[in-house]
Structure 1
């Protein structure tokens, strides 16, 4: 997700029960939306997320469960409260975290939607964003 030209920010967040925390010095304040079927199944709707980058540390690691959802990605959640914690791109080490997970949620700006051709008709965002189809996403981000 996230364009490399976006300024890096320090971001932080925590799960619902507080047992897992996250800090990153390589994040952004640009929220993005994934409409792929896997993200919609996992999150119960479109996945509103922020690129946290690769300089990410977690506290409460013993409460993190990881699910390998594809050859290139894994998803993490809190074992105690079930909060979705991240989508992790295995080849690059980049973490993408849910927008609502962040302490900086009120500062976010919605900038991009991916897998726009997979978005179901029952919802739409009114923000003007960059929109990428499945083919464009794989051409840009796939290893």
Structure 2
């Protein structure tokens, strides 16, 4: 996808405005315990590689949640915005931050082995365990 596919978005209060180029027109869901606590449910996100840019970031909060990643949010309204590698090499932008969500399909669930038993999605999706996700990250870092 090229620059013409860049999509704009914002937090609930509009203080943080961003844009990114989706790596694919797919929404993925993360079931890991950190994402569930952070987002108040599952984290529904669009993989955007290293294309995440901020037009306005005055109230952007960054929380380093692990040795390798951080979570971005608005300190004014609390909106969950994105998860990204600490070095900026990869980001997953919250699906509903984007103004235009046309064309996306729900394609993948990650950390499926951490999903609580009290909910399930009806969609037929790819399902990856935490170990499979971490192996993918490791192979991308070595590429």
What TM-score bracket applies, with the shorter chain setting the length? Answer: 0.7 to 0.9
Residues 12-42 of structure 1 show CA distances to partners (whole Å, capped at 9, x for unaligned) of: 2111011111112354321000000010111
Q: Secondary structure at the match of 1:121?
A: coil
Select the residue among 4, 12, 22 that pairs with 2:18.
22
Pairwise CA RMSD of aligned residues? 1.6
TM normalised by structure 1 equals 0.87
Q: Secondary structure at the match of 1:39?
A: helix
CA distance in structure 2 between the partners assigned to 1:43 and 1:24 by the alignment: 20
CA drift at 1:91: 4.2
Consecutive aligned runs of 4 or more in structure 1 exceeding 6 Å deviation: none
Cross-structure match for 1:104: 100
Gaps of 5+ in 1: 1-6
CA drift at 1:72: 0.7
Residues 27-67 of structure 1 show CA distances to partners (whole Å, capped at 9, x for unaligned) of: 43210000000101111111111112212210222210100
Gaps of 5+ in 2: none
Q: Secondary structure at the match of 1:107?
A: coil
CA distance in structure 2 between the partners assigned to 1:115 and 1:124 by the alignment: 13
What is the aligned length? 137
CA distance in structure 2 between the partners assigned to 1:11 and 1:47 by the alignment: 19
Select the residue among 117, 121, 124 that pairs with 1:128.
124
Cross-structure match for 1:38: 34
Q: Secondary structure at the match of 1:105?
A: coil
Cross-structure match for 2:62: 66
CA distance in structure 1 between the partners assigned to 2:72 and 2:40 by the alignment: 15
TM normalised by structure 2 equals 0.87
Query: Which stretch of structure 1 is more off in the superposition, 20-29 or 40-49?
Result: 20-29
Matched, 1:116 2:112: yes
Contact 2:6 2:20 in 1 (8 A): yes
